[in-house]
Chain A
Amino acid sequence: MIAVRPERPKAIAILFALLAIAPFFLPNRYYVYIFNRGFANALAVIGLVILFGMGGQISLGHIAFFTLGAYTSAIFAVRLGWPPAAAVLAGVAFASIWGAFLSVPAFKLSGPFLSICTVAFGEVVRLLTINLVSLTNGPYGFYGIPSLRLFGRRIGSEKAWYYLLWTLLVIAILAAARLKRSYIGRALAAIREDETAAEVMGINVRAMKTLAFVCAAFCAGLAGALYAHMSGFLSPESFTGEQSFSLFSMTVVGGQESVLGGVAAGVALTLLPELMRFLQEYYIMIFSLIVLLIVLLPFESIMERAKMWAAGLAREGGKVPWGRCSK
């Protein structure tokens, strides 16, 4: 759906090179921080691309895994005094275990039933973060989460986080793309297309569903754990159902199955609201409209329209051939 496809390695290489030097050209640290948020979201979206795009399993409570990763890592680092890097691993592991649990209802449920189930899971996790005050500090927010230390150096500045997240994101993209081409990717595609047929092909459907949920929870948990140490502060208000829906829409906007598309949409849809701040109260409206347009019009068709329009301008001296049939 989106223009970024592995068939265009040159364009992708240029894009990644641009991203590598971007922090030096951004106007201030705040923008670097927004990019970092975008990268964290993109990481979570990769998980949804595997789960939903490749395997056809809906998760509308996906922020729950992000939350589990974030709070677990924060609790291990602050309450138990673990080194932040080890706490991150604990957060990822805890989120992944819950991913495996959530795959159990998916053995029997699909479509709307599974969506409701995942929404419920998301709500349970959200309410726990509010009400387990002794652990999470509830609505007051979780303060004083130490930043990450890697190889003896503290990841303190926004730029350092940028490069850490950017590196992890590239690794995750490569891993997800490899997964898609592997026997696991083929099995997930088969399950998405026709579960019974997949079963009679000899695919262990349950194991594959569990694997997809664990992958998705792993990515979101990692993003969440990193986010906790990056921002230093967690509040239940930043992990609502709305966030789940926005992760889901990033996946859909990116073309569901496309890893790069999902990443691009994850970063873009995080940056966009910030760039539209000047619109003030109208920004949600305009933002929703843009998302709607992207979903309704495939990117290729937008490009084609633009080309036709430009060609028409050149040929007919200003007349625009809107509404004419293209052949």
Chain B
Amino acid sequence: MLRVSNLKAYYGKAQALFDLSFTVPASSMVALLGANGAGKTTTLMAISGLCRKSPDARIDFDGGPIQDLRPEEIVARGLIHVPQGRGIFPGLTVRENLAMGAYLRKDRLAVEEDMGKVLELFPQLKERLHQAAGTLSGGEQQMLAIMRGMMARPRLLMLDEPSMGLAPRIVEQVYQVLQEINRAGTTILLVEQNTHMALTVSHYAYILSVGRIVLEGSAPDLLAKEDMLKTYFRGQGEEVHGAGIQPMA
């Protein structure tokens, strides 16, 4: 469904991504894992058109190239990004936030219907519909960000560190909902530092280190070698290449 090839991205002169290539098959849940500064967020920003990329990069979504489209055109195709740090609109109410998610949709009745459905995912937000989103707890804000993403009827939902700064119990709840969303047919690309949680729910994962994919594999395989993965998160990935899992060429 999503195929990224030769993706390079720069911040000024500093190169953040080196020839990244990966795929996200339809109705799967794929995780992009890595330590701080590995380039996970940059990858998502590049896909959704929020940062500049090299001219030879190619991003195909649903059979068509999207690398040259503007962010709003990419959203219109059903590729929805739930940004890091939740990125909700703090001064707007919960309801208004949800309505913003459906900004590009013209089918008002269906939007109302979807709002009901989306609220079933996190029923605790039902009582808070008219509260300013900035007054919600961290967990609720993350839930709201996911719900807002769902309001756009995404074909592919990209989540940037949904577990960041949340209590373990809340993280579990968030991930349960992500699994539900995925089972109901929405493809998910997940970016995480929380390796264990992400590998438990996703099907396939790529490990990113300093702007390169250094390892990939099915989630259960990687989960079995979790101890080894940890070395990548300490920035010592190179030393364990001979340790059993095939590194990327």
Q: Which residues of A contact B (CB under 8 A)?
A: 183, 186-187, 189-190, 192-194, 196-204
- The answer to the question of B26 belonging to the interface, with a C-beta cut-off of 8 Å to chain A, is no
CB of B103 closer than 8 Å to a CB of A = yes
Residues of B contacting A190 in the complex (Cβ-Cβ under 8 angstroms): 89, 92, 100, 103
A201–B103 alpha-carbon span in the complex (Å): 7
Partner of A197, one of B89, B104, B152: B89
A200 x B87 contact (CB < 8 A):
yes
Which chain A residues lie closer than 8 Å to B82 at the CB level? 200
Q: Which residues of A contact B50 (CB under 8 A)?
A: 196, 199-200
- 7 interchain pairs (CB within 8 A)? A183-B103, A189-B89, A193-B89, A197-B89, A200-B48, A200-B82, A201-B104
B160 to chain A, nearest CB (A): 10
B116 within 8 A of A: no
Taking CB as reference atom, which chain B residue is nearest A200? B81
Cβ of B94 within 8 Å of any chain A Cβ, yes or no, is: no
> Which A residues are in CB contact (< 8 Å) with B148?
201
Nearest-neighbour CB distance to chain A for B145, whole angstroms, equals 8
In contact, A200 and B92 (Cβ under 8 angstroms): no
Chain A contacts for B152, CB-based, 8 A: 201-202
Assess whether B103 is in contact with A187, with CB atoms less than 8 Å apart.
Answer: yes
Q: Determine if B91 is an interface residue (Cβ-Cβ < 8 Å).
A: yes
State whether A204 and B83 are in contact (beta carbons under 8 Å apart), knowing that A190-B89, A193-B91 are contacts in the complex. Answer: no
State whether the Cβ of B241 lies closer than 8 Å to any Cβ in chain A.
no
Cα A234 to Cα B76 with chains together (Å): 49
Q: Is the CB of B91 within 8 A of A202?
A: no
Question: Of B70, B90, B91, B100, which is within 8 A of A201 by CB?
Answer: B100
**B87 in complex: contacting residue of A186, A187, A197, CB < 8 Å:** A197
Query: Which of B90, B92, B104 contacts A202, CB < 8 Å?
Result: B104
Let me know if B96 and A186 touch, CB within 8 A.
yes
A203 to B100, CA, bound (A): 9
Q: Are A201 and B75 in contact (CB under 8 A)?
A: yes
Query: Would you give the shortest CB distance from B246 to chain A, in whole angstroms?
Result: 35
Nearest chain B residue, comparing its CB with the CB of A206: B70
Which B residues are in CB contact (< 8 Å) with A200?
Answer: 48, 50, 71, 75, 80-83, 87
Q: List residues of chain A with CB within 8 A of the CB of B81.
A: 200
Complex CA–CA separation, A190 to B50 (angstroms): 16
- Contacting pair A197 B83 (CB below 8 A): yes
Least distance between A55 CB and chain B CB atoms (Å): 13
B99 to chain A, nearest CB (A): 7
Interface centre among B83, B88, B101, B103, by most chain A C-beta atoms within 10 angstroms, is: B103
Knowing A186-B100, A186-B103, A187-B103, the reply to whether A199 touches B92 (Cβ < 8 A) is: no
Q: Does B226 contact A (CB under 8 A)?
A: no
Q: Which residues of A contact B70 (CB under 8 A)?
A: 204
Within the complex, the shortest CB–CB distance from B77 to chain A, in Å, comes to 10
Check A194 against B103 for contact (C-beta < 8 Å): no
On chain B, the residues within 8 Å of A204 by CB distance are: 70, 72
Task: Type the 1/0 row for B52-68, where 1 means its CB is closer than 8 Å to any CB of A.
Answer: 00000000000000000
B83 surroundings in chain A (CB, below 8 A): 196-197, 200
List 7 tightest A-B contacts by C-beta distance, closest first.
A202-B75, A193-B89, A197-B87, A202-B104, A200-B81, A202-B72, A199-B71
Distance between Cα atoms of A199 and B76 in the complex (Å): 12
Contacts of B101 in A (CB 8 A): 201
Whether A203 and B72, one on each chain, are in contact in the complex, defined by CB atoms closer than 8 angstroms, is yes
| Nearest chain B CB to A45 CB, angstrom units | 21
Chain A nearest Cβ from B66, distance in angstroms: 13
Name the B residues within 8 Å of A198 (CB-CB): 89, 100
Q: How far is the CB of B51 from chain A (nearest CB, A)?
A: 10
Contacts of A193 in B (CB 8 A): 89-92
Give the residues in chain B near A192, CB-CB below 8 Å: 91
How distant is A198 from chain B, measured CB to nearest CB, in Å?
8
Q: Are A202 and B87 in contact (CB under 8 A)?
A: no
How close is B161's CB to chain A, nearest CB, in angstroms?
A: 15
B88-120: which have CB < 8 Å to A?
A: 88-92, 96, 99-101, 103-104
Q: Which residues on B sit within 8 Å (CB–CB) of A183?
A: 103
* Cα distance, A190 to B100, chains bound together (Å): 8
| Nearest CB in chain B: distance from A242 CB, A | 31
Closest chain B residue to A191 by CB distance?
B89
Q: A200-B81, A201-B100 are in contact. Are A189 and B87 (CB under 8 A)?
A: no
Q: Given A186-B103, A187-B103, A202–B71 Cβ distance below 8 Å?
A: yes
A178 to B63, CA, bound (A): 40
B145's closest neighbor in chain A, by CB? A197
User: Which chain B residue shows the least CB distance to A56?
Assistant: B91
Docked pose: A212 CA to B100 CA in angstroms: 18
